[in-house]
Structure 1
Amino acid sequence: MSAAPSELEREQAFLVHARAQLRRMRELAQSLDAAKASDAISAEALGAVLARRVASLQDDPRTTLFFGRIDLLEGIEGIGGRGLGLGASFHIGRRHVTDDAGDPVVVDWRAPVSTAFYRASTAEPMGVVRRRRFGVDHGRLTAFEDEILTRRPDAVLPGSLTTHGVERRRSALLAAEIERPRMGPMRDIVSTIQPEQDEIVRSDLGVTVCVQGAPGTGKTAVGLHRAAWLLYSFRSRLERSGVLVIGPNRAFLDHIGAVLPSLGEVRVEHATIESLLDHARVRASEAVDVAVLKGDPRLARVLERAVWNRVKRPEEPLIVPRGVRRWRVPAAEVSGIFDELRRRDVRYGTARDLLPQRLAHHVLLVMEKSGEITDDRVQDAVARSSPVRAYVKHLWPALDPAAVLHGLFSDPARLADAADGILDDDEQRLLLWRRPARSKGAARWTFADLALLDEVGDLLGRVGRHGHVVLDEAQDLSPMQLRAVGRRAGSGSLTVLGDIAQGTTPWSATSWTAAMSHLGKAEHDLVVLDRGFRVPAAVIDYAARLLPAIAPGLGAPRSVRENAGRLEVHAVAGDQLHSEVGAAVVQAAREPGSVGVIAPDAVVGALSADLAALGIRHGRLDRDASEPGDDDHQVVLVPATVAKGLEFDRTVVVEPAAIAAAEPDGRTGLRRLYVVLTRAVSETTIVHSLPLPAELGASPEASPGAD
C-alpha cells in the first residue's frame, strides 16, 4: 500500500494542474481566428489583441505559476467578491489561470483578493487563517512555510502541519528570496512585496504618489509594480492613453526592462529624459551656472512672453475683396478678436488656427448688415482667401520652437523684452550666445536647451499625454525638465520615485514640495520608505555617514536584513591600485551573483585594460563599451555617473575621493559617492590610494557577513 502524498507533493501536483490549465488557455487563444472578423481593420485589431493574449499566457519553466497561498475564513466580505467556506484557498501568482469551467486555479497578484496575501497580519488578519509561501528551484516547489494569522478552535485546515501552532516572527523563505544572488536585469518582486510597498502599488489611478526612498528600499520596483497594477485595474482607460516609464539613463532602462514583461505587461513606453526631449541634436556644452539658469522655472515665463510677443497688434484694418465689393473689419475690432483668443488660454498654434475663421465671421457680419446672403460655405471661403491668410501670416506668424529659442538667445533686444522684470541684466548676459548662430539649423544646442525647446513646443501646440507616468530618480531633474515630464501626464497621475540624498546634478531638488509643484502635482501623497531590504547594514551604515553633509534632516535608512553583509576598506599605494582592484574582483567573483566594479569615469578605460590584462572577463556599461551583452558577464565595470539605480550582489568601489572630486561642487560629489556606496546587496570592498573624504570618518574594520 503506497504512502499518502505529503503536503509538498500535493502542492507540486497542483502546480502541474495549473500548468496544464495555462497550456489549455494558451492553445484556446491560439485557435481563435482573427480572419473571421467582419472587416480587414477589425481583423487586424483582433489579431493584435490575440497575439498579446497568447504572449501573456507563456509559461516560464524556470519559475512557478504561483508563489503563495492564502486560506480564508467563511464569508469574508470584500475578498474575492463572494462568501467563502472555511478552508477555501487561493493560490497567488503572476497571472490569472482558470479551469475549463472558468473557476480560478491561480489568482493574479493584482486581484483584490491578493491584497490580503501582502497585508494580512496577526493584528489585522483580514480574514486569513493561513498564509503560505513557497520555495522554488528551477520551476519546482522545494519547500513551503506557513504563518497562522487567525486562531479558531473550529478552524481545521486541509494539510495542517505540526508547525502551524508556531507563529514565525520573520519568514525565512521571504528573506532568502530577497537576499538571493542575481545576475542580469532586475527581476519582479511580486513574491516579496512588503505591506508598506503594497499600499503604494495599489494606490488609485487618480492619486499621484511621491516616494522618498532610501537605497535598497525597493522604490524602483514599487513604481514598476504600481504601473503593472494600474494596467490590470484600469486597463480600458490606460490602453488608450498609455503608461510611460522614465529612468535616469539607458543602462538603467536596460536593467529594469524585463520587469513589466515578466508581469505580462508589454505595452509600456520607456524613456530617459534625453530621449523624451529629443528635439535637437546636442552639439555643445556650457558652464554649470548657465545650465542651472536654463533649468530655472522663471524661464517658463520668459519663454511664454517670447512666444506671445511675436503677435503684432493690428494697426491696419482687414480688407477682403469679394466680387465687386471690398469688405472691411476695423483694426480695433481685430484687436478684440486677438484679445478674446488670448483670454481663452489656448496654445499659440491653436489660436492661430482659429483666427481665420474668427476674422471671416466678422467679415460675414459686415456683409449681412449690407443685406448680403451668407452661409457657412461663404465663411469658409473667406477664411481660406488670400487676403485673410496674408493678414494672419503678417500679424500672427507661424512659429517653431527652434526659431523662437534661436531668436531669443541671439537677439539682446528680444531677450530683454521677454525677460524684463524676470531676469536681471547679468542673467540675461549668461543666456545670450557669444557667437550667435546664423540660423536655427546651425545652432549649437546644449542638453539644457532641450527642456526649453520642449516648453516652447508646448506653448505652440499640446504635446502627447499619457494616462500615467512613472518617473524614477526624479530628484536629479531641473524644474524645467520636471515641467516637461509633468505635461506628459497632463490631467493623469504620476508615480514619482527618488531620494533627496542621491541628487547628483547641480540643479537637483532639495525638497519634494518644490519638485512636485514643478511637475504640476502640488496635491500628492508623499510616502517615505526607509526600511532597506536589499542593502545590508554594514554597507548602508557606512554610507549613511555622508547624510549630515548631503541631506541634513533626512533620516538614515534602516537595513532589516538578518545578514549584516560585509564591508572592507583597503588603502594601497598608487602604483598598486589597479592590481589590488583586480585581486578584490577575483575574490568577489568566487561566489555566485553579480560583481559591479564602480570607478571614476576618467579611469574606466585604463582600468578595463588592466582587468583584461589580468585575465578578468568583464562587461562595461559606459558609452564607449564595444562588447555587447554586458548583462551576461558576472563582472561589470561601471562608471560612477552610470551607477544610479543599478544593484549588484557585490561591489568593488575604486577611489571614492576621486569619484566625489569629479563633480562640480562638494555636496554633489558626496551625493554621487553616496549613490556608489549603496549599490551592493551583500558586500562592498573599497580600494583607494587617495585619502577618503573626511565625512566618512575613520575606516571601519572589515565586517564579516553572516553565513
Structure 2
Amino acid sequence: MKSSEAEERARLETVKTRIQHALQDSEARLNDYARDIEAQKHYLWDSRADMDHIEKISARQSIEQSVMTGEAVLAQQKRLLKLARSPYFGRFDFARTGSTPVEAIYVGVHHFHDEHARRHLVYDWRAPIATLFYDYETGPAHYEAPAGAIHGELTLKRQFRIRDGRMEFMLESAVNIMDDVLQQELSRAADDGMRNIVATIQRDQNAIIRDARAPVLIIQGVAGSGKTSIALHRIAFLLYRFKDSLTSKDILIISPNRVFGDYIANVLPELGEESVTEIGMETLADEWLDSAYRFETFLEQTSRLLETDDEALRRRIALKASPDFSSCKFSSDRARWSLPIVGSDEVNTTSCGYG
C-alpha cells in the first residue's frame, strides 16, 4: 500500500473536504441548539406563573443541559478548525499478525472520525496505536491496547508538514526521519511562546509522556533538553488517558516566574486541552508563609545585585543555589540556617551563610 506523493496530496484534499462537511454539520447543530435554548427560555418566561417549583427546576435543568451540549459542539468545532489547517503530521501502515489487510494510520494533534464513512481518518497522537509512530521504524512492532498487546509489522512510515491546508513536504520512512523533521522544525523562526512537539517526539520522550503507572515522575535533564515541553505533553496525555477521572482543574503548574508561565501558556490549548492553573513560586511562597517571613522576590534580588557591590550577598545567593543548602536546617532560637556535619559522637552544625 505504498502510495506516491500525488496520491497523498489527493488524500489530503479528501480529508479536508470531509472536515469541511463536519464543520458545516457542527455549525448547523450549534444553530439548532441556539434556537432550542431560546425557545426554552421563552417558554419558561411565558409559563412561569403556571409552573410549580419542580417544573421550573426541570425547565432550568433542560436549558443547562442544552447549553452544555452546545458548548461541547463548539469545542469540537474549534478542533475541526485546527484540523482543517493541519489534519495530520504522520502516517504508518500496520499489518496486524494474523490479519491480511494492511491499515494506513494517519496521526494528528486531534482525532477525526468521518461519520459518513464510519471510519477514523485521523488518530489522536495520544491514542494507543499512535505510539507505533514514535517507537518503531519499519519492521516488527507492537503496542498495548485495552484488550492487550497487539503485534504486527510496520510496512511504511511517512511524515508530513501541512500548513494552512497545504502539504509543504513529505518524508519517506528512514532511520533518520525524525532527525530530518526535527531539523526542519528547528530551522523555523522562533516566536514568543513554546510550541507543541507532537511531530518530533523521540522514543525515550514518548516513554516518559505515556507512563501511566508511576505515581510520581521526576524529569531530569540539562537546561534546554526539553523537560518542560515533555511535562506539558505528559499532562495532555494524562488528561486524554484518564479523561473520565482527571480534568484540567485537578492539575497545578508551579512556574519560576510569570514570564515563564506566559511562555508555556499556549502549549496545552494547542493540544486541545483547557489551560490548567498556573502559579508562580513567589506567589505560592507568599500564600504559604502567610506574611510570617519576608523573602526577596526575584526582581528585588536582581535589583540589589545590580545596584550594590555586596560580596557577602553574592556568597549567600551562591550557597542557597547549591545542593548543600537542601540539607540545611533552620534554628529559630538562633535565627540561623545550619548545615549538619556528622562528627564522632554527635551532629555539630556550621553556619549555612544566613543571618
Normalising by the residue count of structure 1, what TM-score does the alignment of the two structures yield?
A: 0.35
**1:257 shift after superposition:** 0.9
Aligned twin of 1:88: 103
CA RMSD of aligned residues (A): 3.8
Tell me, yes or no, if the aligned pair for 2:255 and 2:281 is still in contact at 8 Å: yes
**1:23 shift after superposition:** 2.6
Greater fraction strand: 2
Aligned twin of 2:12: 15
Q: State the secondary structure of the residue aligned to 1:190.
A: coil
Distance change >3 Å, CA 101–CA 60, structure 1 → 2 = closer
Distance change >3 Å, CA 212–CA 123, structure 1 → 2 = farther
The residue type paired with residue 53 of structure 1 is Q
Q: State the secondary structure of the residue aligned to 2:78.
A: helix
Q: State the secondary structure of the residue aligned to 1:207.
A: coil
Do structure 1's residue 65 and structure 2's residue 80 form an aligned pair?
A: no
Matches within 5 A, 1:310-389: none
Distance change >3 Å, CA 279–CA 73, structure 1 → 2 = same
Matches within 5 A, 1:633-652: none
Do structure 1's residue 147 and structure 2's residue 173 form an aligned pair?
A: yes
Matches within 5 A, 1:516-531: none
Tell me, yes or no, if the aligned pair for 1:73 and 1:84 is still in contact at 8 Å: yes
Measure, in 1, the Cα distance between the counterparts of 2:314 and 2:25: 57
Residues 94-115 of structure 1 show CA distances to partners (whole Å, capped at 9, x for unaligned) of 1111222330111110111100
Tell me, yes or no, if the aligned pair for 2:95 and 2:102 is still in contact at 8 Å: yes
Aligned twin of 1:269: 277
Percent of residue pairs identical: 28
Between structure 1 and structure 2, the one with the greater Rg is 1
Aligned twin of 2:217: 209
Matches within 5 A, 1:185-200: 185-200=193-208
Distance change >3 Å, CA 48–CA 668, structure 1 → 2 = farther
The residue type paired with residue 166 of structure 2 is R
Aligned twin of 1:102: 118
Measure, in 2, the Cα distance between the counterparts of 1:57 and 1:169: 28
Measure, in 2, the Cα distance between the counterparts of 1:46 and 1:278: 40
**1:120 shift after superposition:** 0.9
Measure, in 2, the Cα distance between the counterparts of 1:218 and 1:84: 39
The residue type paired with residue 18 of structure 2 is Q
The residue type paired with residue 155 of structure 2 is V
Aligned twin of 2:68: 45
Residues 266-304 of structure 1 show CA distances to partners (whole Å, capped at 9, x for unaligned) of 252222234446649xxxxxxxxxxxxx8xxxxxxxxxx
The residue type paired with residue 21 of structure 2 is R
Give the number of the structure with larger relative contact order, counting CA–CA contacts within 8 Å between residues 6 or more apart.
1
Aligned twin of 2:78: 55
Structure 2 gap ranges (5+): 38-58, 143-152, 323-355
Residues 580-623 of structure 1 show CA distances to partners (whole Å, capped at 9, x for unaligned) of xxxxxxxxxxxxxxxxxxxx767999xxxxxxxxxxxxxxxxxx
Tell me, yes or no, if the aligned pair for 1:21 and 1:98 is still in contact at 8 Å: no
Do structure 1's residue 174 and structure 2's residue 182 form an aligned pair?
A: yes
Residues 63-98 of structure 1 show CA distances to partners (whole Å, capped at 9, x for unaligned) of 5211110111234xxxxxxx7544321111011112
**1:203 shift after superposition:** 1.4
Distance change >3 Å, CA 70–CA 55, structure 1 → 2 = same
**1:255 shift after superposition:** 0.7
Tell me, yes or no, if the aligned pair for 2:138 and 2:173 is still in contact at 8 Å: no
Matches within 5 A, 1:499-538: none
The residue type paired with residue 10 of structure 2 is A
Aligned twin of 1:221: 229
The residue type paired with residue 219 of structure 2 is V
Do structure 1's residue 238 and structure 2's residue 260 form an aligned pair?
A: no
Q: State the secondary structure of the residue aligned to 1:192.
A: coil
**1:130 shift after superposition:** 1.8
Tell me, yes or no, if the aligned pair for 1:8 and 1:143 is still in contact at 8 Å: no
Tell me, yes or no, if the aligned pair for 1:178 and 1:192 is still in contact at 8 Å: no
Normalising by the residue count of structure 2, what TM-score does the alignment of the two structures yield?
A: 0.66
Matches within 5 A, 1:186-585: 186-204=194-212, 207-239=215-247, 242-276=250-284, 279=287, 446-447=294-295
Aligned twin of 2:351: none
Measure, in 2, the Cα distance between the counterparts of 1:97 and 1:60: 8
